[in-house]
Amino acid sequence: MARKITYQQAINEALDQEMSRDPSVIVMGEDVAGGAGAPGDDDAWGGVLGVTKGLYAKHPGRVLDTPISESGYVGAAVGAACNGLRPVAELMFIDFMGVCFDQIFNQAAKFRYMFGGKAKTPVVIRAMYGAGFRAAAQHSQCLYNIFTHIPGLKVVIPSNPYDAKGLLIQSIRDNDPVIFLEHKALYTMEGDVPEESYVVPFGEAAVVQEGDDVTIVAMGRMVNYAKDAAASLRKRGIQCEIIDPRTTSPLDTDTILESVERTGRLVVVDESHPRCSMASDISGFIAQEAFGALKAPIQMVTAPHVPVPFAASLEELYIPSPARIEEAVMKVKEYR
């Protein structure tokens, strides 16, 4: 039965249900319980924002606090995955991937292929991403583009509570390394989520709303912004189709292609920097595969090519806004 819960609760529930179903699932990370060795509560934090709260008591011995050693524990999660566990390692802020990237992209990502198909590496690396918290340049990046670039990794960026739960369960059951990215601004978002366990398959985009005039591909937090822009555009008589890829690797190109062939106009909205981004990737794909169908140049709505600034006045300018999406849609719509 579905009831309304938050994105954060949906993630917690997915972890809880998978840990109950499969004893090989473990959770590790800095302060995922919070309080190891301290005089007060053993599970004082449950993650910096409380996303893993309660799992420590429900699954004794399977929620492991780690020292601040990302290379060490992320690599250990990869090794444990090679030896029969299904670890979910939390990296807290995705920006910290810089510390342990070798274990992810030279190790985990390569094993299955490089070992001639003999290895499987069912590890999930969870982290929060995204701007909007005045957390500045080292705690606000998106970075999903970087993971998407690397063969062997699967990359998941849920935009709502329903997808968060179903995609996380799929991530844990998947036999490849999965980067599971949670937008910090979405943790409090509420939505209908079934109580029972279910999966959302990888590589299947969601058509968030249908429309025949312009295709908007948006991901993560930007899906909501695209919806806001589309609602306003509807009043101006423009019908937008919004596609949320949900996973950037694998990417459901069929759904995007089919839509653009119908609308002939494409806007891609990506919260990350424009160079080598999902925006440029999807734009390039469509330019190559659907050139004949395009009635206007593709528009990319992205953050600028600058680090995330601290001051609120600058960060608000940095993040793509519904107004900028609307502007881009008008540009492709009015193009002659």
Partner 1 sequence: MSSPLTREGLLQAYRTMRTIRDFEERVHVDFATGEIPGFVHLYAGEEASATGICMHLNRDDYIASTHRGHGHCIAKGVDPVGMMAEIWGKRTGTCKGKGGSMHIADLEVGMLGANGIVGGGGPLICGTALASKLRGTNNVGICFFGDGASNQGTIFEAMNLATVWKLPVIFVAENNGYAEATSSNFSVAVENIADRAGAFGMPGVIVDGFDFFAVHEAAGEAIRRAREGHGPTLLEVKLSRYYGHFEGDQQTYRAPGEVQKLRDTKDCLMQFAKRVTSRGELSMADIEAIDREVKTMIDDSVVQAKAAPLPLPEDLMTDVYVSY
Ligand X SMILES: Cc1ncc(C[n+]2csc(CCOP(=O)(O)OP(=O)(O)O)c2C)c(N)n1
Q: Decide if residue 137 touches ligand X (CB under 6 A).
A: no
Find the shortest distance in angstroms from Cβ 229 to partner 1: 21
Burial class (CB in 10 A: 0-12, 13-18, 19+), 262: middle
Nearest residue to the partner ligand X, using Cβ: 96
Among 20, 21, 23, 41, indicate the residue that binds partner 1 (CB under 8 A): 41
Which positions from 96 through 135 interact with partner 1, judged by CB under 8 A?
96, 98-99, 133-135
Interface with partner 1 in residues 137-156 (CB under 8 A): 137-139
Interface residue with partner 1, options 236, 310, 323, 335 (CB under 8 A): 310
Nearer to ligand X, 41 or 210 (CB): 41
Question: CA distances (Å), 319 to each of 91, 93, 301, in order?
Answer: 23, 18, 10
- Opening angle at CA 28, ends 26 and 29, nearest 5: 165
The answer to whether 218 and 225 have CB atoms below 8 angstroms apart is yes
The verdict on 99 binding ligand X (CB under 6 A) reads yes
Task: Figure out which of the listed residues 96, 101, 198, 285 binds ligand X, where binding follows CB under 6 A.
Answer: 96
CB 259 within 8 A of CB 241: yes
293 binds partner 1 (CB under 8 A): no
Among positions 69-98, residues that touch partner 1 (CB under 8 A) are: 69-72, 95-96, 98
Nearest to 228 by CA among 240, 211, 213, 220: 240
Instruction: Decide: is 33 part of the binding site for ligand X (CB under 6 A).
Output: no
| Stretch 50-79 residues interacting with ligand X (CB under 6 A) | 68, 70
* Shortest Å, Cβ 128 to ligand X: 11
Nearest CB to ligand X, comparing residues 94 and 226: 94
Which structure tokens are listed for 21? Answer: 């179903």
Residue 135 binds which entry of ligand X, partner 1, none, CB below 5-8 Å type-dependent = partner 1
The span of 52-60, 92-100, 194-202, 218-226 binding ligand X (CB under 6 A) equals: 92-100
Using CB under 8 A as the binding rule, whether residue 305 contacts partner 1 is answered as yes
What single-letter amino acid sits at 98?
G
User: Does 21 sit near partner 1 (CB under 8 A)?
Assistant: no
Q: Measure CA 180 to chain center.
A: 6
CA distance 31 to 12: 15
Q: Does 30 bind ligand X (CB under 6 A)?
A: yes
Which of residues 99 and 257 has its CB atom nearest to ligand X in the complex?
Answer: 99
**CA–CA distance, 102 with 111 (Å, rounded to integer):** 13
Under the binding rule (CB under 6 A), the answer on residue 92 touching ligand X is yes
Q: Is 307 an interacting residue with respect to partner 1 (CB under 8 A)?
A: yes
Is 139 among the residues known to form the active site? yes
Please, what is the minimum distance in Å from the beta carbon of residue 319 to partner 1?
11
Closest CA to 248 of 287, 269, 278, 273: 278
Applying CB under 8 A, among 48, 199, 257, 330 the residue interacting with partner 1 is 48
Catalytic positions are 139
Site of interaction with ligand X (CB under 6 A): 30, 68, 70, 92, 96, 99
Site of interaction with partner 1 (CB under 8 A): 30-31, 34-41, 44-45, 48, 65, 67-72, 95-96, 98-99, 133-139, 274-275, 304-307, 309-314, 317-318
